[in-house]
A and B are shown apart, each in its own frame.
Chain A
Amino acid sequence: MKKYLTYVLAIVFLIFLTSTITFAAGEKLTVWVGGHVVEQEETWKEIIADFTKQTGIDVEYQLIGFEVYYDKLVTAYTAGQGPDVCFADLGGWVPTFAAQGWLEPMDNMLATTKTTEQIWPNLWPTVTYQGKRYGLPWYTDCRLLLYNTKMFTDAGLDPNKPPITWDDLLATAQKLTDESKKIYGYGVTGAKSETATLAYMIYLYGAGGEFLTGDYGKAAFNTPEGLAALKFYAEFFTKYKVSPPGTPSYTEDDYRTMMSQNQVAMAIGGPWSFPLIEMANPKIKGNYTVATHPYKTTPASVLGGWASVIAKTSTQKEAAWKFVDFITSYKVWMKWIEKHGGPMPTRQDVCKDAPAFKTDPKWQIIFETFPHAKVRPPIPQYPQISDQIQTMIQDVLTGKATPEDAIKKAEEEVNKLLAK
C-alpha cells in the first residue's frame, strides 16, 4: 500500500511542478507589456521601480515581442491564467477580449482619475464594448503618408509640397517611378496583413465612404465611394505599375525598408516608422518626413495604439488599477518622452507640453492629422472582417476578381459575420 502511495505522491508532485510558476507569482502583481515600447527595457525597469517605491506593490513584469504577444495572451486567458494587467492593441483586441469575458469593466475606476479628461476623445470607442469601458489607452498613433524627400528632390519634385489629393498622389508617384532602375513611386500594401485593411480604410474614408453602418450591424463599404477607393488603390499596381511587382506579398514594413534604400518613395507609415526606418539605414536620417495621407474629398486616417486592461480573474484589481493609473500619469509620460521622443501619448497635455514634440515638424503634422483618425470597428468580429477585406484586396491585385465582384463578395461575407 505504501508503495502505491509513493507513486500517487510522485504524480501529484509532477503535476504541481508544472504549475509552480503560478503559485510563486501569486503574491505579486503580474504585468505584461507588448507593442513597440517593449524595446525600452531600462525605462520600464525604472518606471516599475518608482511605482513599487510609491505604493509598496511588488510587480512582476514581462516585456513581450509583438510576434508572439497575441498568441501568448490568448493562450493565457483561455487557460484562465492571464496577467493582472496587460497591454491590448487598439485594433479590436479590447472588444474581442471583453466579449470572451476576459476583462474587468473599468468605468468605476476611470471615474476616479483626472487622466480621463486628457485622453484624446476619438480613442474611447476602441476600448468600449456594449457601452462599458474596458481599458485606458496608453499610447497611440495614426497613419500618414511617409515619404523619402531625397527621392523627391532627385525626381525634380519639391519635397516641401507633398501630394494632397488622390490625383496629385498618382501624378507624383508616376514621376517618381523608374522601372528600369527598380524605383517605385508608391507602395501598395497587398500582403495578407492588417495593414492592408488599414490602407483600404484610409482610402475609403478619404473618398467620403463608411466602413460599417453606425450600429456595426452591416457592411457599408459597397457604395460608389467604396468601389472608387478599392479601384484607385489597386490600380497603382494593376494599371499604373507605380508599386513594385511583388505588391501582393508586401506590407508597410517592407516598403519602409525599401524606402530607406531609396527604392520606394512613398508609402503609408506613422510615428512608429521613424526609429525603424533609421534602424534599417542610418543614412536616411533627415531624408524622410510625413504628410497627411492624400484624399479624395476628406482628410482621413486610422488610429492605432495600445491600452492597459485588467483581467477579470485578477485577485488584485485595486493594485492593478493603481498601476494603470500610474503609468498613464502626466509625470511618467513627460519622463518617457524626454527619454525616447515617442510614441504618441494618449494624453493631450503631454502632446502639447513635451519639448521634444514642439521642435519637430513631423509631430506637428501628426497632431494635426490625429483628429481625423477613425477607429476600427470595436466589435469582436473585427479580425474576421479585416480578413475579408484583405482577401478582397488580394483578389483584385492578383486579378482573381474584378473590383466590383470582389467588393460584393466581401460585403456578403462581412454581413454574414455581423449577423452571427
Chain B
Amino acid sequence: MMDNILDGKLIPEKKTGLWYDLQRNSFAYRSIIPYIIFMLVLVIYPVAQNVLVSFQADNTWSIQNYRDVLSDPLFWVITVNTIIWTVSCVVLDLLVGLGLALLLNQNTKGKMIFRTIILVIPWATPDIVAAVAWKWMYNDMYGVLNDILMKLGIIREYLPWLAVPSLAKAAVIIANLWKGFAISTMFYLAALQTVPKELYEAASMDGANVWQRFTKVTIPVIRPYILTTVMLTIIWTINYFPLIFAMTSGGPSNATDTFVTHSYRMAFRFLDFSHSTVVSNINFIIVLTVAVIYVLSLIRKEG
C-alpha cells in the first residue's frame, strides 16, 4: 500500500531537472552506458594518466618535465617542423581537394569511374603500404619519380629525396597530400552538390564570369563545409604518424620529426615517459583547441 502511494501519482511530479530527464529518457541513457564506459577506459583514463605522469618528477609533483622539454632546442625544431607539416598539408589538401572536387562535379561521361579511381584508391591504401611505396618512388638510385622528372627534363640528376633535409620535408608533405586529399575532395564534392543550380543561372544572367561565379556563389555557399573540413584535416594531420615514421623515422637530422614521432620515440625507444607525456600533452592542447573551435562552430551553425 505504501509503495503505491510513494510510487503513484499522489506525489506531484517535477517537470524539469536532471533527475526527471534521467527518468524520462532512461532507455536512451542506459543505451549509451557501454559507450561511456569504453570512452572512460580507453580515452579519458589514458589522457588523465598522461597529464598526471607529466607533472611527476623525482617522486613528487613538479613542472620540471615541462621546463626540461621547453628548454631543449630540439623541441623548438620539432615545433617548427610540426607547423610547416600541418600548414602545408592542410593548405595543399584544401587547394587540391577543392580543385578536384570542382572537376569531378562536372557532368561528364564516366563520372562515377573517375570519382572511384581518384578518391578511393589513395584513401583506401593502408598507411604503411603507401609509405613504403612512396619510399621506393623517392629512391635516389631507381626511384620512379626521379626517372620521370629526368625524362621530363626537370632535373639533371637523380635527387636523393629522403636524404636531404629540405627535400625530405617536401617529400613527406607530397606523400601525405596524395594520401589525404581524397577525403577532402569527398567532403567538397558533397558540399558542391548542395549549391542550387538556379544561383549559377541567375549569376550568369547578371553577367558574372566563371571566376565571379566561383567566388560569389560557390564559396559563400560551401564556406561552412570548408571550415569543417579544414578543422578536421588540421586534427588528422597533426596526429598523423605512420607515414612519416615509416618513410623517414623523423630524419634526416630531425628534418621530418613532428610532435607525434618525437613523443613516440621518447616513450617507446627511450622509455622516457615523463618527457614524452609533456610533448603529447602540448600536442593534445593544440588539438583540443582546434576541436573546441570546431564544435563551437557546429553549435553556432545549428543555432
Contact = CB atoms under 8 A, between A and B. Distances in A.
Nearest to A380: B271
A77 B30 CA distance: 36
B168 to A, nearest CB: 8
Contacts of A7: 30, 33
Interface stretch (B109-117, B190-198, B249-257): B249-257
B37 A248 contact: no
Given A246-B163, A387-B270, A398 B252 contact: yes
A245 interface: yes
A14 B251 contact: no
Given A11-B37, A387-B269, A387-B270, A249 B252 contact: yes
Name B's interface SS: loop
Interface stretch (A189-197, A212-220, A228-236): A189-197
A192 B271 contact: no
B163 A14 contact: no
Interface string A381-396: 0011001001100110
A391 B140 contact: no
A105 interface: no
Contacts of B252: 190-192, 248-249, 394, 397-398
Contacts of A211: none
Nearest to B158: A245
A362 B198 CA distance: 80
B242 interface: no
Interface in B29-78: 30, 33-34, 37
B173 interface: no
Interface string A241-263: 00011111110000000100001
B165 A191 contact: no
B251 A244 contact: no
A74 interface: yes
A100 interface: yes
Contacts of A263: 141
A339 interface: no
A415 interface: no
Given A263-B141, A394-B251, A395-B253, A248 B163 contact: yes
Which has the most chain A C-beta neighbours within 10 Å: B139, B158, B268, B271? B271
24 contacts: A7-B33, A70-B268, A74-B271, A190-B252, A191-B249, A191-B252, A192-B252, A245-B140, A246-B160, A246-B161, A246-B162, A247-B160, A248-B162, A249-B160, A249-B248, A250-B163, A384-B272, A387-B265, A391-B253, A394-B251, A397-B163, A397-B252, A398-B165, A398-B253
Contact of A383 (B34, B161, B269): B269
B120 interface: no
Given A247-B163, A249-B163, A193 B271 contact: no
A394 B141 contact: no
Contacts of A384: 270, 272
B164 interface: yes
Given A244-B141, A249-B251, 17 more contacts: A11-B33, A74-B271, A190-B163, A191-B251, A193-B249, A245-B141, A245-B160, A246-B160, A248-B160, A248-B252, A249-B160, A249-B163, A380-B271, A383-B269, A387-B269, A397-B163, A397-B252
Contacts of A45: none
A193 B268 CA distance: 14
Contacts of B139: 246
A245 B162 CA distance: 10
Nearest to B168: A249
A7 B270 CA distance: 42
B271 A100 contact: yes
A398 B140 contact: no
B272 A192 contact: no
A14 B160 CA distance: 52
Contacts of A394: 251-253
A394 B164 CA distance: 10
Interface string B263-278: 0010011111000000
A75 B168 CA distance: 31
Contacts of A71: 268
A46 to B, nearest CB: 33
B270 A14 contact: no
A384 B266 CA distance: 8
A182 interface: yes
A263 B33 CA distance: 61
A40 B45 CA distance: 40
A246 B140 contact: yes
Which has the most chain B C-beta neighbours within 10 Å: A100, A387, A395, A398? A398
A96 B271 contact: yes
List the 10 closest A-B pairs by CB distance, nearest first. Answer: A246-B140, A192-B251, A249-B162, A248-B163, A246-B160, A248-B252, A245-B160, A249-B163, A246-B163, A394-B253
Interface string B151-186: 000000011111111001000000000000000000
Contacts of A247: 160, 163
Interface in A384-419: 384, 387, 390-391, 394-395, 397-398, 400
Nearest to B164: A398
B191 to A, nearest CB: 39
A100 B168 CA distance: 36
A248 B165 CA distance: 9
